[in-house]
Copies of this chain bind each other. A is one copy, B any other.
Amino acid sequence: MALKHAILVSLGDTPMSGYDLAKHFDESIGFFWRATHPQIYRELAKLREKGLVSAEEVQQQGRPNRTVYSLTDAGRQEILDWSRQPSTPDSVKDDFLVRLYGLDHVDIPALREDLQLRMEGHRDRCERFSAIAAGIEPRSITELGRLRGLQIGLRYEREWAAWCEETLEALKDEHLVSLEDPFMQLAGQ
């Protein structure tokens, strides 16, 4: 369970409300661990009970009040303890790759559309990450960590984007007919 730790680590930067955290999970740390707002609010309540975070009600005018959470010393210790456990291997679960694995049973035009969308997503993130990374000159341990995180994100997105492009090419109709049709297969040999 590292949602807990993703929250603690985020609060290690600066105190935040659940709402802030939810936005934060949509942007920066969300690349490493995704979470939705109900998950976050529930987890915050548990962390508060355990004393790993402290909460402070903040009055606001013109808007609902916010509950701002801060990391406690116990929370800091919890991060340290957790960081000494071996990390759990990332559990891969990719719908799209399962389809590719069973390519002869799926709707290929639909898969191509999906692939196109994926490629665009990877390209977008690729540009976003490289823009952010270009602006970081690591002056602290934290910045170094963030930069390394961006680097793997960037590598990942870049490879995926390139692979999508290759795969779109490989899945063009004119390349597939010869595979499906036994006559063409013979002709191609």
A residues neighboring B (CB under 8 Å): 2, 5-6, 8-10, 12, 28-34, 76, 79-80, 83-84, 86-107, 110-111, 114, 117-118, 121, 138-142, 144-146, 148-149, 151-152, 155-156, 159-160, 162-163, 166-167, 170-171, 176, 179-180, 185
Contacts and interface: CB of A to CB of B under 8 A. Distances in A.
B2 A93 contact: yes
Select the residue from A12, A141, A160 with max chain B CB neighbours within 10 A.
A141
Contacts of A155: 159-160, 162-163
Nearest to A7: B98
Contacts of A166: 148, 151
A188 B86 CA distance: 34
A145 B83 contact: no
A79 B138 CA distance: 48
Secondary structure type dominating chain A contacts = helix
A98 to B, nearest CB: 5
A12 B102 contact: yes
Copies of this chain, complex-wide, total 2
Contacts of A92: 30-34, 90
A170 B145 CA distance: 10
B98 A5 contact: yes
A87 B93 contact: no
